[in-house]
Structure 1
């Protein structure tokens, strides 16, 4: 396990995995900088965390990650809030709209592609600019087990963006070898959240709190590529890589 990362930025923190990670890091005594589009939810979360953990600092800022100039402004604002140093950035904001390619849903697929990859790149650029300037930091990208293969229907573009994010993260990791800056890519399996709330049946799904507990534990260890919860997803991801296409259809 690496050093304690006290000041943590989490994007997409108003709901789902981002909100629950914020709660769990707050319980560990970490200071938080939380951003999302829905500021009413951010304000409510800030009040909740400050009441439960009065020793921590919680800052909130509105951010639409698809406004790429705003990404840089918000991250730099958080750096000032923390007194000049950010210890960890968790690139969590994302979406799961989409449908089979060629079925008339290009706008939804495009929106997912931009949000999950181009806007993730903007967040990584902003974070690493700060980390390079301070010569320290931990960048965390939230990918998905779906990154290991292509999937059909609503997962086609989503999985492609996560594969791209995993590859981007590895490239940054190579680029930063030998520096005090680390990059961790977390690949969650099926964790119940708002993004999949309408899906009734998903294999091995766990609730948000359980899933995020595994994510936070993995983030704290600062490994390179991690699959969570480790059981069964560390095994399943290996099996997915070998499945014929006819079997892969069952996962989507």
Structure 2
């Protein structure tokens, strides 16, 4: 079954922007959500010129504004008639080691990556339950599999939280015509990656998003992408001793 109408948060840059490009090429109607209206408008103009047969809606949204999340999602459904898929993608990677003065940045990451994601899941699932159909997708991370040090401590914790939240939603709607998918990307080159510290196995955004979309289209419960090496690395992470985990930062 093709999900025609797709809403993507965090669509102004990174994975969200590239997913929008690839989904437009697949013939889908898109609702582009992010704080930066001008960036969304530029992307919408680009996509509309290449794919004039698609509906490309721009809906500026600060995902940390709970009321606005519910309003925008409902408005998207009203304009398209049916909302087939919501990709909860918006996130940040600010922060540092706990207890070293980074509380404000760590809190921003926790609020954006988990609390705001909860609001997006709530808003999407309200619509899907009303429709008795839909596909919720959350973007977690391979880092959700373990605790990480330094700048990744809070980030990894939020990604573990969203993975657990998504699985709980999946259990809640088991045997209902609502699909729920968690995507765990490995290292994909976006603005969130520190350009001065290139991690291993990193791929560019088009390659990474191609793997993400392939998994989403299959509507799997969860996927670690790209499959190689992350479907294997996730298991290796579980066995790494803490002294080796300290090398990740």
Q: Aligning the two structures, in what range does the TM-score lie when normalised by the shorter sequence?
A: over 0.9
The 5 A counterparts of 1:41-190 are 41-83=39-81, 85-190=82-187
Q: Quick check: 1:231 aligned with 2:228? A: yes
How far is the alpha carbon of 1:250 from its aligned partner?
2.1
Aligned Cα RMSD in Å? Answer: 0.7
- Could you list the per-position Cα deviations for residues 68-108 of structure 1 after superposition, in whole angstroms to 9, with x for gaps in the alignment? 1000000001001102x100000000000010000001000
The CA distance in 2 between the partners of 1:219 and 1:241, in whole Å, is 25
The CA distance in 1 between the partners of 2:27 and 2:103, in whole Å, is 43
- Name the structure 1 match of 2:9: 11
The CA distance in 1 between the partners of 2:59 and 2:195, in whole Å, is 29
Distance 1:200 1:4, change over 3 A: same
Q: Unpaired runs of 5+ in structure 2?
A: none
Q: Unpaired runs of 5+ in structure 1?
A: none
Q: Quick check: 1:249 aligned with 2:226? A: no
The 5 A counterparts of 1:196-211 are 196-211=193-208
Please identify runs of 4+ aligned residues in structure 1 that moved more than 3 A.
none
TM-score, scaled relative to structure 2: 0.99
The CA distance in 1 between the partners of 2:242 and 2:173, in whole Å, is 36
